[in-house]
Amino acid sequence: MTVFRSVLAEVRQRPARLLLTGLAVLVATAFAAGTLLFTDTLRATVRDGVSGVPEGAAVVVDARHPAAGETAEGGPEGLDPALATRVAELPGVADTRAVREGPVALARTGGTADPGYWRVVSDSFQGSLSSYQILRGSAPSGPGEVALTREAADRLGLGVGDRVVLRPGADAADREVTVTALTLGPFLEGSGTVVAPDDTAAELGARSVSRLLVAAQPGVAPAELTKHVANLVSGQGKAHDAGQLRQERLAEHVRSFDQVLVLLSIFTGMAMVSAAIVVAATFRIVVAQRRRQTALLRCVGAGRGQVVASLLAEAALSGLVAGVLGAVLAWLLGQGTVALVRNWLDQPQLHLQVSLGGLVLCVGLAVLVTVLAAVLPAVSGSRVPPVAALGAAPTVDVGQGVTRLRWVLAGLLATGSGGLAALALATSRGDLPTLTAVACSGMLAFGALAAAAPIILSRLARLLAWLVQDLGKIPLRVAVGNVLRMPRRTAATTLVLALGVAMVSAVLVGVSSARASVDEQLAGSRPAALVISPAFPDGPGIAPEVVSELRALPAAGYVTASTETRAGVGDVRGLARGTELSEFPPLRRGVVYEGALTDLGPGRVGLYKDVAERLGKHAGDQLTLHKDGRRVTLTVAAVYRNAGSLGSFALNPTDLAALDPSARVTRVLLDPAPNHDRNQLRAAVDRALAGNTNVVVQAPGDERAAFEEISRVATLIALGLVGITVLVAVVGVGTTLSLSVVERTQESGLLRALGLQRAGVAAALAWEAVLFGGSAAVLGITAGTGYGVLTLTAMSVFEVIAIPYEQLVVVALGLVALLLVASAGPARRASRTTPLQALATE
C-alpha cells in the first residue's frame, strides 16, 4: 500500500511524465484498437450488405456449369427455362425467378469494345427476389433500356441517360441502349455488369439461365423445400438452401477478413514490440534519474522488492492511461473515417462497430506490454546501493564491460542469419519453407544487430559526426558526446527506428521491383504501341479486311497479325501462335534464355521457358507439335521468357496454318510510322475501327495507368502499416530526448553560463536527433534493402529487382526531418535552461 501511495504521489507531482513514458504504447494501442474497429466494421458491412442471394429466396438452384463456360459452337448450357414453371408448381413454393446471364461486349457509341469482361444479367428490380437495388434513375422497363452497376458506370464515366452499344456475340448485331439507372449490386460482383429486365436481357445475350431463385410460402421449412426442388432439378443443377448459401458466402468473406486481421495483427505485434523496447529505454532513463531517490528509500529501509513493485505499479498505471487514451484515439479516428467515407460513398450500411471486449483487451495488452518492458529496468534500478544517496551520482550506463560477449553473441547470430539467407537463396523455390528461412534469417539479423548495436552505433555516430563536422562546432560535439555517453540507451531507440526504416525500405524495394517487372512484362506482352484483339475470345477472330485496313493506315509503321490455336507436344498443351517476326522487329527484343529470336522462321519454333523446362527441350532440339491429328516437326530456335506476345509455342504463320488451317487472327500489333506519334496512330486506328464492337483496342499505357493506380493504393496501405512502427520509434526518440533534457539541465546551464546562445543549446539537441536519425537510416535502409532483395530473389516473386535509390534517400531525409520535428519540443525546453541552473548542485 505504501508502495502504491508513493507511486500516486510521484504521478501527482509529474503527471506529464506518466504520459511521456507511455506515449509509444499509446500509439501502438491506438493502432491495435484501430485494427479491431476496422475489421469489425468491415465484417458488419459485409453482413448487412446486399447479399448475392436476395432476401426472399428460400432455395437457390445453380446451373451445373457456369454460364461463362458456354462455347461458340455448343448451345447454351445452364438451366432449362421451363424449369421455373415446373418448380413453381411444387407445393410450398410462393414464387420463382429465373436469372439469365450471358457475356456481352460493351462500347461507347461509335467506339470499339471496352477491354473489360462484361456480362448481362436479368433482374426484376422489385420484389423480394431482386438482387439489384436502384441508387439513381428509374428501373429500365422497355426494350433498349438497361441499368449499370455504380462501379461499372464510375469506371467508364457513364451516368443515367447515357447511351452505350452492346453486342451480345461475335455474330450478333450491335444494339444501342440507354442507361436509365445506376444500381448497387451484390458485394464484389458489380465490376462489369449490365442489368436489364428478363426480355431485354435475353435479347442482349443473356441466353442461358444460370440461377433459379425460389421463394417459399409462409411456414414452409427451407430445408424441406430444398429437398423437393433438388429432386426436381437433379441432373440439371444443384439446389441450395438459400440461408445456408448466404452463411457460406458470409463465412468466405469473413475468412478473407480474418486473413486481413492476421496480417494487421503481425504489424500490430511489431508496433507493440517496438513500443516495448521504447518503454524499456524510457524506464531505464527514469530509473537512472531516480537513482538518488531510490538510494534514499533504501537508506530508510525500503526493500528491493518494494522498490521494484513501486516501479512496476507506476508502469502499470502508465500503461493503463496510455491504453485508454490509445483506444479513445482509435475510436475518434474511426468515427472520423466512417463519417468521411459516408460522405464519399452511398453505402448506408457503414457503421463503426465497437466491441467493448476487444477494446478492453487492447487496454489490457497495453498494460501488460508496459509492465513487461519495465521489469528489467526496475530490477536493475533497485540494485542501487543505499550509500549512493550520500554522494553525487552522475548517470552512467551500466554494463559497459560486456563488449566481448556482445561481439560473440552478435557473431553467432549473424552467422546463423547468413546461413539461413544462403540456404534460402540456394533453394530459391518460392515456397513456404524458403519464406520461413528468410523470415528467420531476418529475425536473427535483428538479434545480431541488437546485440552489437551499442558498439556499432557508437562507431556509426562518430563516423556521421566526422562527415558533418564542419557544419556545427560545439553543438555537434556536445551531441556526439551525449549519443556516445549512453550507448545502450541510444541503441534501443535507434534499433526500433532502424526496424521501422528497414520495413519501409523493404516495402519500397518490393513496390519498385513490382513496377519494374510489370513494365518489363508489359513491354514483353504488349511490345507494340497498340494491340488489337477480338472482343469475343471464342469468336471468329479479327476479319482479314480489318487487318488489311490497318496495314494500309499511313500512320502505321510496323504492323503484324498473328494467328493462334491450341496445340501440344505429347500431353504438354499450350497456346501456339503464328507470328511473322520479320514484320515486327521490336518483338525480337524479348528476354531470351537460349538461342535467338532472330532465328525464328519457317521450320523453327520458340518455346516459353516453363514449357521448355517441362518438355526438357533446348535450342537445337527437335519436337513435333500436334493438333487434331495434324503434325508438324520443328527445330527449337529459342527459349524465351515473355509468353504474352509469342505464346507457349512461337511458330511461323505458315507452320501454324499447316497445323490448323482454320486458325484465326487473334492479335494485330501496330507501331507508329517514323513521322507519326502514338496519339496520331491511336486516332487513325480509332477512326478506321469506329463502331466495330467486335474488336478491342488496347494501348500498353492504359494498362500501365491502371496498374499505377493499384500499386499506388497498395504502396500507401503497406507504408501506412509499417509506418506505425516508425511512428512509435519517432515518439520514442522524442521521449528519450525529453528525459535527457531533464537529466542534462546542469550541463545545459553550464554551456549557457560559458556563453553558448539559446539557439546553440537547441542545436545540440537537434544534432542529437540528426545523429539518431542518420544512424537508424543507414542501418535500416541497408538491412531493409538487403532483406527486400533477398526475399524477392528467394521467393522468385518478380522477374526484375529494382532498388529505388531516390526513394531511399527521401526516406533517410524524411526520417531526419521527422526526428527534428520530434526534437523541437525538447530542444525548446533545453534552450530555456538558465545559466543559474548550472550552479544548482542538486
Q: How far is the CB of 745 from other proteins (least distance, A)?
A: 12
Closer of 321 and 751 to other proteins (Cβ):
751
Residue 259: which residues within 8 A CB-CB, separation 6 or more?
A: none
Residue 378, SS3 per DSSP? helix
- Total interface residues for other proteins by CB under 8 A: 29
Residues with Cβ within 8 Å of residue 141, at least 6 apart in sequence: 180, 197
Which cell goes with 713?
493504393
| For other proteins, the closer CB: 135 or 753 | 753
Q: Tell me: does residue 742 bind other proteins (CB under 8 A).
A: no
Of 43-51, 362-370, 420-428, 743-751, the window that binds other proteins (rule: CB under 8 A) is 743-751
C-beta closer to other proteins: residue 325 or 491 = 491
CB count within 10 Å of CB 586 equals: 17
- The neighbour count for residue 49, using CB atoms within 10 Å, is 17
Nearest to 206 by CA among 76, 88, 117, 51: 76
Nearest to other proteins of 72, 839 (CB atom): 839
CB nearer to other proteins: pick between 234 and 834: 834
Phi, psi torsion values for 64, nearest 5 degrees: -60, -45
Contact with other proteins (CB under 8 A) among 383, 473, 618, 712? 473
Q: Give residues with Cβ within 8 angstroms of 192, minimum separation 6.
A: 106, 116, 117, 118, 119, 152
Helix (H) or strand (E) holding 133: strand 133-137
CB-CB neighbours of 118 under 10 Å:
23
The alpha-helical segments, DSSP class H, found in 61-143 are 83-88
Query: Is there a contact between 54 and 129 (Cβ–Cβ < 8 Å)?
Result: yes
Interface with other proteins (CB under 8 A), residue from 13, 126, 343, 841: 841
State the minimum distance, in angstroms, from the CB of residue 757 to other proteins: 5
In 3D space, the residue among 83, 87, 54, 93 whose CA is nearest the CA of residue 222 turns out to be: 93
Strand residues in 673-745 grouped as ranges (E): 695-698
Q: Which is nearer to other proteins, 302 or 479 (CB)?
A: 479
Count the residues in the chain: 842
Q: Which is nearer to other proteins, 33 or 761 (CB)?
A: 761
**Minimum gap (Å) between residue 12 Cβ and other proteins:** 23
Nearer residue to other proteins within complex by CB, 607 or 838: 838
Segment contacting other proteins by CB under 8 A, of 157-165, 546-554, 582-590, 742-750: 742-750
Q: Provide the minimum distance between the beta carbon of 754 and other proteins in the complex, in angstroms, as a whole number.
A: 5
428: left (phi over 0), alpha (psi -120 to 50) or beta: left
Could you give the 3-state DSSP secondary structure of residue 105? strand
- Window contacting other proteins (CB under 8 A); options: 167-175, 472-480, 491-499, 555-563: 472-480
Distance CA 567, CA 628 (A): 8
Burial class (CB in 10 A: 0-12, 13-18, 19+), 705: exposed
Using the minimum distance from each CB to other proteins, give the nearer residue, 415 or 757: 757
The CB-of-782 to other proteins minimum distance in angstroms stands at: 27
C-beta closer to other proteins: residue 82 or 836: 836
Binding mask 429-468 for other proteins (x = CB under 8 A): ----------------------------------------
- Is there binding between residue 537 and other proteins (CB under 8 A)? no
399 binds other proteins (CB under 8 A): no
Please report, as residue ranges, which positions from 744 to 783 form the binding site for other proteins (by CB under 8 A). Answer: 746-747, 750-758, 760
Question: Amino acid identity of 517?
Answer: S
Shortest reach from residue 482's CB to other proteins, in Å: 6
> In the set 129, 359, 491, 838, which binds other proteins (CB under 8 A)?
838
Nearer to other proteins, 398 or 821 (CB): 398
Residue 391 interacting with other proteins (CB under 8 A): no
Residues 477-496 that bind other proteins (CB under 8 A): 477-478, 480-482, 484-485
Q: How far apart are CA 811 and CA 827, in angstroms?
A: 23
In angstroms, give the least distance from the CB of 742 to other proteins: 16
Task: Give least dist CB 272 to other proteins, A.
Answer: 34
CB 309 within 8 A of CB 374: no
Q: Could you tell me which residues come within 8 angstroms of residue 202 by beta carbon, excluding any fewer than 6 positions away?
A: 100, 122
Residues forming contacts to other proteins in the complex (CB under 8 A) are 392, 394, 473-474, 477-478, 480-482, 484-485, 746-747, 750-758, 760, 834-836, 838-839, 841
